């Protein structure tokens, strides 16, 4: 691989397109001061991605564009293209896993364009790319925007002037290890971004956690409500299926009972139509006949009583007459009695006896007067005061007594006849009573049947009212069922209460009581559902799922970031180990060449690169003053830089600061040539690095340039004739018309031929 061409168009003093063809090992660029020789070197830095405008003697990107002159207008853009030969396919792009992808082109053209607003564009073979891609590409062939392969005027001793840390970076670049630094820095940037992302994700997750917990509680409620709705749906399905079955059964039973009661009611109505009204005051003819007979018996008894009274009176009279007749015969007795009771006489006694007998018959005690009764009455009479009367005279009462006896017999016969009539009438009464009892029994049976039908009619009326109540209740039940169904539709929707496909066994135990129990269970579920909020919560569940998905994404992202951090830390550690290993190996090789070139340049002495600890400093306040102290933090990792140790021949000088300007230039050149020998770059640009050399050292410098050209293509900007003599092609740069740089190329072989 070698550098083929360099094309400038509008870059700094090169207003017109200028081309430098590099087809020999050593090319010298010559020309007077201010002609634009250094602009060629700066164009190489520019196209390879140099970002420091100051290092290219400018302030802004617009300073890289031709400013214009009286003859040539100001340009709005500038471009530089550098063309490399890639037939051996040495260019490649590194991957993060340390693999390489070769660039499959015979030529690789890198182009950079800059515009008046400072914007830049990078292209590889005409395709726009990133600056990072340019750095990756040129790092693969051990070159960069600045470094050991481009040494400008006044920077020959920058290896010596740099601190130990920067010097290490320069040597790493010279060893081709810059790509590892790029990768380490890129990995560190990624690590920093990953750590920032992890912190942001953790913050976001912490901020998300309370809301997620709140949503989780709400979703748990919704899930609970969902389960309750599912349970309620099953209850509803069973309830409506059973309710429809039960209502059909109740309606069927009601129709059967209605038909049965109606049939019985028709039968009862027919009975009343045929029976008519019942006569609860019905009087039978036998009752009248019996009443008449009793009346007749009463009348007969009155007659008998009268007859008996008459008989008693007669018997009294007879007794009195008999006693009067006897009294005439017992005057002595009568005399004593009269003495005691002057008013006593037989007539008086007879009259008294008649009265007593009559009274007794009227009282219904007996038809005959007992002796004790008469005795008692006489005693009462004797106790009562009696007016004295004249003593009776003896009378003969035989005829009168005979008449009275006959009359008495007649009365006795009459009484017997009357008693016979009474007995006959009583027999009639008994017969009529038996007949009346039979009729009354029949009438009572008929009335009992009537009242049974009356009671049955009342019972049927009650049953019919109950049928009406049951019918109304069935209607109310249907309304209640429809209301329940509408409520179920609101709570669960149509799909939640599809019960029509549920099979109902006809012999299953479904009752109004079981349905009421089921309804109360549903009411309890609805109350619980209302307590926790019975809404569907679709939006809330969606928000929860989105938030949960976001949290899970952040959790997965955190896990990925942690893995990425671990991977990046491992990559950085591996890169650093590889970098340190290759760096230490490269330093050993550099020291061999550095010591050889140093002895060649100075005719002896020693020179080598030595590792040196990079001391980190921190500021510590003490008594109000700011002091710089070396950090002694044991936890800090030790970093090493590179120090340069030299020993000039015949001098005790070992400190770089003690070297003269020429000695520093020779030391820098020796180090640069040593670096180029260890890891030769494809080309090396030397911008007047030989300006401070005397004639003897210029000879040595020229010899070293020729040796170096065996490994790297050299582009030398010089005023030194000795150096020019070692070049195969000279490019002359001068200011032409319009203060624009122009070029002229000359091959020394051709010049020699012309000279001959």
In a domain, 650, yes or no: no
Residue 604 Cα to chain centre, angstroms? 86
From CA 462, how far away is CA 306, in angstroms rounded? 65
Report the pLDDT value the prediction gives residue 635, as an integer from 0 to 100: 46
Residue 647, helix vs strand vs coil: strand
Q: Give the number of other Cβ atoms within 10 Å of residue 227's Cβ.
A: 11
In a domain, 605, yes or no: no
Q: Annotate 36-90 with three-state secondary structure.
A: CHHHHHHHHHHHCCCCCCHHHCCCCHHHHECCCCCCCCCCCEEEEEEEEECCCCC
Decide if 554 contacts 239 (C-beta within 8 A): no
Which domain covers residue 672, as residue numbers?
Answer: 3-176+663-755
pLDDT interval class at 158 (50, 70, 90): confident
Are 297 and 203 in the same domain? no
Q: What is the CATH number of the domain that holds 171?
A: 3.40.50.300
Q: What is the mean pLDDT of residues 251-278?
A: 84
Task: Give yes or no for residue 391 having a pLDDT over 60.
Answer: no
In a domain, 687, yes or no: yes
Are 140 and 202 in the same domain? no
Instruction: Give per-residue pLDDT as tens, 682-715.
Output: 888 888 888 877 888 888 888 888 888 888 899 9
Task: Characterize 167-201 residue by residue with b for buried, 16 or more Cβ atoms within 10 angstroms of its Cβ, and e for exposed.
Answer: bbbbbbbbbbbbbbbbbbebbeebbeebeebbeeb
pLDDT interval class at 539 (50, 70, 90): confident
Instruction: Give per-residue pLDDT as tens, 660-680.
Output: 777 887 888 888 778 777 777
Q: What is the mean pLDDT of residues 555-575?
A: 90
To the nearest 10°, report the CA torsion of 136, 138, 143, 147: -50
Question: What six digits make up the tokens of 581?
Answer: 């290993």
In a domain, 610, yes or no: no
**Is pLDDT larger for residue 345 or for residue 398?**
398
Residue where a domain stops, chosen among 578, 593, 608: 593
* Residues 6 or more apart in contact with residue 42 via CB below 8 angstroms: 12, 56, 57, 152
Are 407 and 303 in the same domain? yes
The mean of the pLDDT values for the chain is 81
In a domain, 135, yes or no: yes
Task: Give yes or no for residue 413 having a pLDDT over 60.
Answer: yes
Q: What is the mean pLDDT of residues 397-402?
A: 82
In degrees and rounded to multiples of 5, residue 716 shows phi and psi of -115, 120
In a domain, 63, yes or no: yes
From CA 489, how far away is CA 493, in angstroms rounded? 4
Are 88 and 118 in the same domain? yes
Q: What is the mean pLDDT of residues 742-755?
A: 75
Report the pLDDT value the prediction gives residue 511, as an integer from 0 to 100: 85
Residues facing 14 on adjacent strands? 11
Could you tell me what percent of the chain has a pLDDT over 70?
81
Question: What six digits make up the tokens of 171?
Answer: 């040597």
Total number of residues shown for the chain: 756
**Is pLDDT larger for residue 459 or for residue 381?**
459
In a domain, 615, yes or no: no
Instruction: Give per-residue pLDDT as tens, 25-60.
Output: 999 999 998 898 889 999 998 999 888 888 788 888
pLDDT interval class at 279 (50, 70, 90): low
Are 58 and 191 in the same domain? no
- Residue holding tokens 């130990």? 164
Task: Give yes or no for residue 121 having a pLDDT over 90.
Answer: yes
In degrees and rounded to multiples of 5, residue 436 shows phi and psi of -65, -40
From CA 191, how far away is CA 576, in angstroms rounded? 15
Q: Say which range, 163-172, 253-262, 557-566, has the weakest mean pLDDT.
A: 163-172
Could you tell me what percent of the chain has a pLDDT over 90?
17
Are 194 and 143 in the same domain? no
Decide if 739 contacts 13 (C-beta within 8 A): yes
Nearest C-alpha neighbor of 707 from the set 596, 607, 608, 606: 596
Instruction: Give per-residue pLDDT as tens, 472-519.
Output: 988 998 898 888 888 888 877 776 677 765 655 555 678 888 888 988
In a domain, 462, yes or no: no
Nearest C-alpha neighbor of 327 from the set 375, 396, 272, 278: 396
In degrees and rounded to multiples of 5, residue 53 shows phi and psi of -65, -30
Are 8 and 136 in the same domain? yes
Instruction: Give per-residue pLDDT as tens, 414-435.
Output: 999 989 999 998 999 898 888 8
Are 389 and 409 in the same domain? yes
Instruction: Give per-residue pLDDT as tens, 718-747.
Output: 988 898 999 999 999 998 888 899 988 888
Task: Give yes or no for residue 352 having a pLDDT over 70.
Answer: no
**Model's pTM, two decimal places?**
0.48
Decide if 491 contacts 235 (C-beta within 8 A): no
Q: Say which range, 33-47, 284-298, 364-378, has the weakest mean pLDDT.
A: 364-378
Report the pLDDT value the prediction gives residue 215, as an integer from 0 to 100: 86
Question: What six digits make up the tokens of 86?
Answer: 């890639």
Decide if 198 contacts 565 (C-beta within 8 A): yes
**Is pLDDT larger for residue 397 or for residue 312?**
312
Furthest C-alpha separation in the chain: 248
From CA 74, how far away is CA 550, in angstroms rounded? 56
Report the pLDDT value the prediction gives residue 625, as an integer from 0 to 100: 45
What is the total count of domains within the chain? 3
Nearest C-alpha neighbor of 24 from the set 738, 665, 735, 715: 715
Report the pLDDT value the prediction gives residue 379, as an integer from 0 to 100: 64
Report the pLDDT value the prediction gives residue 626, as an integer from 0 to 100: 44
Q: Annotate 306-334 with three-state secondary structure.
A: HHHHHHHHHHHHHHHHHHHHHHCCCHHHH
Are 734 and 749 in the same domain? yes
Task: Give yes or no for residue 235 having a pLDDT over 80.
Answer: yes
Report the pLDDT value the prediction gives residue 501, as an integer from 0 to 100: 59
Residue 601 Cα to chain centre, angstroms? 83
From CA 252, how far away is CA 271, in angstroms rounded? 29
Are 378 and 349 in the same domain? yes
Residue where a domain stops, chosen among 566, 593, 620: 593
Report the pLDDT value the prediction gives residue 77, as an integer from 0 to 100: 94
């Amino acid at each position: 691989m070698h550098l083929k061409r360099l094309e400038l168009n509008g870059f700094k003093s090169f207003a017109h397109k200028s081309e430098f063809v590099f087809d020999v090992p050593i090319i010298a660029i010559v020309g007077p001061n201010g002609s634009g020789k250094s602009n060629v070197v700066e164009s190489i830095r520019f196209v390879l991605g140099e970002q420091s405008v100051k290092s290219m003697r400018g302030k802004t990107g617009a300073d890289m564009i031709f400013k214009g002159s009286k003859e040539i207008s100001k340009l709005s853009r500038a471009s530089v293209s550098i063309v490399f030969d890639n037939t051996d396919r040495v260019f490649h792009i590194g991957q993060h896993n340390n693999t390489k992808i070769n660039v499959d082109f015979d030529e690789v053209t890198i182009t950079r364009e800059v515009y008046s607003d400072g914007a830049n564009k990078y292209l590889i073979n005409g395709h726009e790319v990133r600056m990072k891609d340019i750095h990756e590409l040129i790092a693969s062939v051990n070159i960069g925007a600045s470094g050991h392969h481009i040494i400008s005027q006044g920077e020959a001793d920058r290896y010596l002037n740099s601190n130990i840390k920067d010097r290490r970076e320069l040597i790493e670049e010279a060893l081709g290890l810059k790509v590892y630094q790029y990768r380490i820095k890129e990995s560190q940037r990624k690590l920093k971004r990953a750590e920032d992302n992890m912190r942001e994700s953790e913050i976001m997750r912490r901020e998300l956690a309370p809301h997620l917990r709140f949503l989780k509680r709400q979703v748990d409620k919704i899930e609970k409500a969902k389960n309750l709705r599912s349970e309620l749906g099953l209850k509803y399905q069973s309830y409506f299926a059973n309710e429809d079955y039960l209502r059909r059964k109740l309606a069927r039973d009601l129709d059967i009972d209605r038909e049965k009661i109606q049939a019985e009611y028709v039968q009862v109505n027919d009975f009343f139509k045929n029976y008519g009204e019942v006569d609860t005051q019905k009087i039978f003819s036998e009752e009248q006949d019996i009443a008449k007979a009793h009346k007749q018996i009463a009348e007969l008894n009155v007659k008998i009583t009268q007859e008996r009274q008459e008989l008693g009176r007669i018997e009294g009279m007879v007794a009195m007459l008999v006693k009067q007749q006897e009294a005439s015969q017992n005057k002595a007795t009568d005399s004593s009695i009269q003495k005691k009771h002057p008013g006593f006489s037989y007539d008086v006694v007879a009259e008294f006896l008649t009265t007593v007998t009559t009274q007794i018959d009227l009282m219904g005690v007996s038809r005959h007067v007992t002796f004790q009764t008469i005795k008692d009455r006489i005693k009462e009479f004797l106790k009562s005061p009696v007016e004295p009367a004249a003593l009776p005279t003896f009378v003969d009462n035989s005829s009168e007594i005979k008449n009275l006896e006959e009359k008495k017999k007649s009365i006795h016969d009459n009484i017997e006849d009357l008693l016979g009539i009474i007995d006959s009438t009583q027999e009639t009464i008994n017969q009529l009573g038996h007949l009346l009892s039979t009729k009354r029994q029949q009438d009572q049976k008929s009335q009992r049947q009537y009242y049974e039908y009356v009671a049955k009619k009342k019972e049927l009326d009650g049953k019919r009212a109950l049928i009406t109540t049951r019918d109304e209740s069935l209607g109310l039940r249907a309304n209640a069922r429809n209301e329940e169904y509408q409520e179920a539709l609101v709570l669960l929707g149509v799909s939640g209460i599809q019960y029509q496909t549920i099979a109902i066994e006809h012999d299953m135990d479904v009752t109004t009581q079981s349905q009421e129990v089921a309804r109360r269970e549903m009411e309890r579920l609805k109350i619980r559902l209302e307590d926790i909020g019975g809404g569907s919560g679709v939006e809330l569940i969606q928000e929860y799922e989105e938030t949960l998905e976001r949290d899970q994404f952040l959790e997965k992202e955190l896990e990925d970031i942690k893995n990425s951090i671990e991977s990046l830390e491992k990559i950085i550690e591996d890169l650093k180990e590889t970098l340190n290993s290759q760096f230490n190996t490269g330093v050993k090789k550099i020291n061999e060449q550095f010591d050889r070139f140093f002895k060649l340049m100075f005719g002896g002495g020693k020179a080598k690169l030595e590792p040196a600890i990079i001391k980190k400093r921190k500021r510590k306040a003490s008594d109000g003053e700011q002091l710089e102290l070396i950090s002694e933090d044991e936890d800090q990792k030790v970093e090493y830089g590179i120090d340069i140790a030299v020993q000039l021949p015949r001098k005790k000088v070992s400190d770089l600061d003690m070297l003269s300007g020429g000695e520093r230039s020779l030391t820098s050149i020796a180090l640069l040539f040593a670096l180029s020998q260890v890891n030769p770059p494809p080309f090396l640009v030397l911008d007047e690095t030989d300006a401070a050399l005397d004639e003897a050292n210029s000879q040595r410098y020229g010899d070293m340039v020729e040796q170096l050209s065996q490994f790297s293509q050299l582009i030398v900007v010089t005023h030194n004739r000795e150096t020019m003599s070692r070049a195969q092609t000279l490019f002359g740069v001068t200011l032409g018309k319009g203060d624009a740089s122009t070029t002229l190329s000359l091959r020394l072989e051709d010049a020699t031929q012309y000279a001959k």
